[in-house]
């Protein structure tokens, strides 16, 4: 571009020189025209390139701004996810600690229940297994005493052999404040005829017997606030009541020992 103008001036100057013929002048003019076209084309190309350059710069600026915005957005999302992940991990750690604490308490309760069963079994050693059984069910110790050991038929006063068993049980439990005691009376399905020893029906009989056993246990040292008498009558049998042997199994008293779960409930009620 910088050499075109001097060339044009040179061609124009040659027209004024003497001795230049028309053919030479025409050739120079043609060259001048060619150079002008070349100049115009170059100028057009330059302007087009300049426009494309400007467009590219603008596009680059917009793209860079868009990329920067996207990058900032992604960075914010990552930061939020990291924060949420941190909170989740803290919550998970807290939950795991709580589960571990619950498991510790449950393990302690299971160990205490097994130890209680062993202590009661040792205290009642020597009684006929048909008349007295000690078992663990659902985390509780069940001391099941037959009617034959405790009562005469229809009676509500405990026989001497039954009193001996209850005193030994009370001695094993006295001072253990971590156990709730439920005395649960049961009968078979044979109805009572009339009023027997103050009982109007089997339900009544089961309650009176449970209350009598409760009195004996508290008299032997059990804290009255730990013990509750109840009667189930014929409505919770362990056998079908269709043979004399099965009916005898249903005529029983269950003394249910439940370790207190205050610590467990305290953990469950937190948060």
Mean pLDDT value across the chain? 85
Q: What is the pLDDT of residue 18?
A: 52
Q: Residue 157: is its pLDDT beyond 80?
A: yes
Could you tell me the pLDDT band of residue 7, with boundaries at 50, 70 and 90?
A: low
Q: What is the pLDDT of residue 147?
A: 96
End-to-end CA distance of the chain: 84
Q: What is the pLDDT of residue 13?
A: 53
The H or E element that residue 253 is part of is: strand 252-259
**CA–CA gap between residue 67 and residue 73 (Å, rounded):** 10
Structure tokens at 218: 């508290």
Structure tokens at 115: 């130890």
Could you tell me the pLDDT band of residue 5, with boundaries at 50, 70 and 90?
A: low
Residue 230 DSSP one-character state:
E
Q: Residue 12: is its pLDDT beyond 60?
A: no
Question: 22-123 vs 160-173: helix axis angle to the nearest 10?
Answer: 140
Percent of the chain exceeding pLDDT 90 equals: 46
For tokens 């020893």, name the residue: 197
| CA 254, chain centre distance (Å) | 36
Could you tell me the pLDDT band of residue 1, with boundaries at 50, 70 and 90?
A: low
Best-predicted range by mean pLDDT (61-70, 238-247, 262-271)? 238-247
Could you tell me the pLDDT band of residue 27, with boundaries at 50, 70 and 90?
A: confident
Residue 173 or 9, more confident: 173
The region of weakest confidence among 23-32, 168-177, 259-268 is: 259-268
Could you tell me the pLDDT band of residue 163, with boundaries at 50, 70 and 90?
A: very high
46 Cβ contact list (under 8 Å, min separation 6): 1
Q: Average pLDDT for residues 195-212, to the nearest whole number?
A: 94
Q: What is the pLDDT of residues 81-124, one digit of tens each?
A: 888 878 888 888 887 887 888 788 788 888 888 999 999 999 99
Q: Residue 198: is its pLDDT beyond 70?
A: yes
The region of weakest confidence among 106-110, 119-123, 176-180, 265-269 is: 265-269
Q: What is the pLDDT of residue 184?
A: 98
Which residue pairs, CB below 8 angstroms and at least 24 apart, start in 55-64? none
| Sheet of strand 179-185: strand arrangement | 132-137, 140-146, 252-259, 179-185, 227-231
Q: What is the pLDDT of residue 217?
A: 97
Q: Residue 270: is its pLDDT beyond 80?
A: no
Q: Residue 264: is its pLDDT beyond 60?
A: no
């Amino acid at each position: 571009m910088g050499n075109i103008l001097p060339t044009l001036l040179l061609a124009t100057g040659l027209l004024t020189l003497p001795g230049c013929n028309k053919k030479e002048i025409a050739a120079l003019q043609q060259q001048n025209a060619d150079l002008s076209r070349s100049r115009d084309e170059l100028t057009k190309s330059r302007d087009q390139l300049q426009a494309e350059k400007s467009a590219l710069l603008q596009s680059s600026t917009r793209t860079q701004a868009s990329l920067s915005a996207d990058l900032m957005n992604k960075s914010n999302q990552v930061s939020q996810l990291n924060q949420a992940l941190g909170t989740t991990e803290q919550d998970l750690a807290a939950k795991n600690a709580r589960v571990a604490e619950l498991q510790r308490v449950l393990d302690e309760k299971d160990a205490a229940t097994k130890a209680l069963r062993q202590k009661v079994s040792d205290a009642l050693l020597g009684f006929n297994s048909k008349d007295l059984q000690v078992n663990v069910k659902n985390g509780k110790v069940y001391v099941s005493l037959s009617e034959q050991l405790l009562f005469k038929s229809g009676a509500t006063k405990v026989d001497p052999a039954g009193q001996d068993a209850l005193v030994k049980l009370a001695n094993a439990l006295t001072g253990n404040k971590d156990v709730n005691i439920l005395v649960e009376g049961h009968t078979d399905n044979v109805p009572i005829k009339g009023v027997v020893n103050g009982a109007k029906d089997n339900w009544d009989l089961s309650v009176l017997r449970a209350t009598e056993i409760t009195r004996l246990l508290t008299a032997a040292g059990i804290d009255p606030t730990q013990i509750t008498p109840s009667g189930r009558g014929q409505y919770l049998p362990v056998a079908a009541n269709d043979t004399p042997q099965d009916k005898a199994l249903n005529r029983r008293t269950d003394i249910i020992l439940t370790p207190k779960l205050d610590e467990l409930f305290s953990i469950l009620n937190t948060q």
